[in-house]
Amino acid sequence: MKKSQIILFVLAFLIWSFLSWPPDYQHLIVGIFVCGFVSFMTGDMFTKRPYRLKQPGRYLWFFYYVPVFIWECIKANIDVAYRVLHPDLPINPGIVKVKTTLKSESALTFLANSITLTPGTMSVDIDEENGFLYVHWIDVKSKDIQRATEIIVKNFEDILRRIFE
Amino acid sequence: MKRLRWLIGLVAIVAIFGIAIFYPYASLLEWQSPLLKHSFSVLFLCALFCLWRILRGPTPADRAVAIDILGILVLGFCALLGIPTGRDWYIDIGIAWALQSFISTLALAKYLEGRNFDE
Amino acid sequence: MNETIGMFFIVIGLVFDFFGCLGLIRLPDVYNRLQAATKCVTMGTCGILFGLFLFKGFSAAGIKAILCILFLILTAPVSAHALARGAHKSGVKLWKKSVCDKYEEDKK
């Protein structure tokens, strides 16, 4: 058994016991067999470098990331409500290009999700080789790559680098 | 002209909400509060907006977007239905619906992209 | 007490759901619609599910509502991303008053 398979087994068993919540022994025994089968078949591709899960600093940064993310979400909703309710539709859309220095796949996925749920921006495509992200922006403030990177990506990039890189 | 259309839309939405709140329709369930009873009409109105976009959308991409949003709305509907009836299994239907809707949205996106499904 | 706070969360969620669907009607092209609708409807449905959790407490339905919130936050942006990419590749143009389109320039 590899380490990655064991981590996947623990996660899957946790989700199984939440889904069948008042836990009794029949559900748990069936869950052990099903989770064992799934983690034996597909456990190889779950995580590439399992030693990262042992470093406690990453979890602390993750707990710092959650409230920042929720606050940005609430700001995004109020922004969209203002734009939709205004009679003149104050939008100024366009697709801009921003640069990111993150490399690993999970960090890029979380960065794209964070960009989509924060005010006024939505990720359209990723160019992984050169580290470019194409972002649809509902209110374009600048077409320059450097300036757009400072406005859109900067906040999340610092936190996500400490979590995933 | 723009302001006039905005005003007409506002009057129409207020009229629909007024009818939904003051019309005395019969109901089989026991409602904890009148606010909960009227919250269903908001979701019905949202679903009507999505159906309008599916009917009217000029491109296929618009229709795919509206189908995606309708799937998430049905999840909210299932969660809301669990409160007045007191049944726990409505949220199970919601979970299964959300899973199915996510996969079908990915398939629609692949179809729009014009590639094979094998990738 | 818990039910009052849950009702407050449900009303907030319904209001944002309504704004999201209004954006689906009012905004002019696919990308703007996708943006408004995804943000508002995801957050609104999360509010409804959190209200359900406050109503039910740590019973079967409450725990499943929390799992649903996690699943929705992870998957809704992914499907929005896939739909935007598919729409751009199938040749849907941006709105005619848009400022710039760097993706179209780089594809050639």
Any idea where the domains of chain A sit in the sequence? 3-51, 55-164
Cα–Cα distance measured from residue B40 to residue B31, given in angstroms and rounded to the nearest whole number: 12
Q: What is the pTM of this model?
A: 0.89
Cα–Cα distance measured from residue B36 to residue A148, given in angstroms and rounded to the nearest whole number: 44
Q: Do C77 and A116 touch (CB under 8 A)?
A: yes
| More confident of the two residues A127 and C12 | C12
Residue pLDDT, tens place only, B66-92: 998 999 999 988 888 888 888 888 888
Cα–Cα distance measured from residue B92 to residue B79, given in angstroms and rounded to the nearest whole number: 9
Segment holding A127, helix H or strand E:
strand A121-127
Q: Collect all residues from C whose CB is shorter than 8 A from any CB in A.
A: 16, 19-20, 22-23, 26-29, 31-32, 34-36, 38-40, 42-43, 59-60, 63-64, 66-67, 73-74, 77-78, 80-81, 84-85, 88, 94-95, 97-104, 106
Q: Do A124 and C85 touch (CB under 8 A)?
A: yes
Segment holding B99, helix H or strand E:
helix B90-113
A88 and B CB contact within 8 Å: yes
Average confidence (pLDDT) over A81-99: 85
Residue pLDDT, tens place only, A57-75: 888 888 888 898 889 889 8
Residue pLDDT, tens place only, A106-141: 888 888 888 888 888 888 888 877 878 888 888 887
Answer yes or no: is pLDDT of A52 > 80. Answer: no
Q: Listing from the earlier edge strand, what are the strands of the sheet with A132-137? A: A94-99, A132-137, A121-127
Cα–Cα distance measured from residue A98 to residue A103, given in angstroms and rounded to the nearest whole number: 15
Residue pLDDT, tens place only, B9-29: 889 989 988 887 787 777 777
Amino acid sitting at position A72: E
pLDDT confidence band for B104 (50 / 70 / 90): very high
Task: Kindly report the nearest CA distance between residue C52 and chain B, in angstroms.
Answer: 7
- Which residue in C has a C-alpha nearest to residue B105's C-alpha? C79
Only one residue has tokens 């089989």, namely B28
B89 and A CB contact within 8 Å: no
pLDDT at A1: 64
Residue pLDDT, tens place only, C59-105: 888 898 899 999 998 898 899 888 888 888 887 778 777 777 777 77
Cα–Cα distance measured from residue C6 to residue B85, given in angstroms and rounded to the nearest whole number: 16
Sort A95 into a burial class: Cβ within 10 Å, 0-12 / 13-18 / 19+.
buried
Residue A98, helix vs strand vs coil: strand
B92 and C CB contact within 8 Å: yes
Only one residue has tokens 């706070």, namely C5
DSSP character at residue A97: E
Answer yes or no: is pLDDT of B50 > 80. Answer: yes
Domain range summary for chain B, segments of one domain joined by +: 2-113
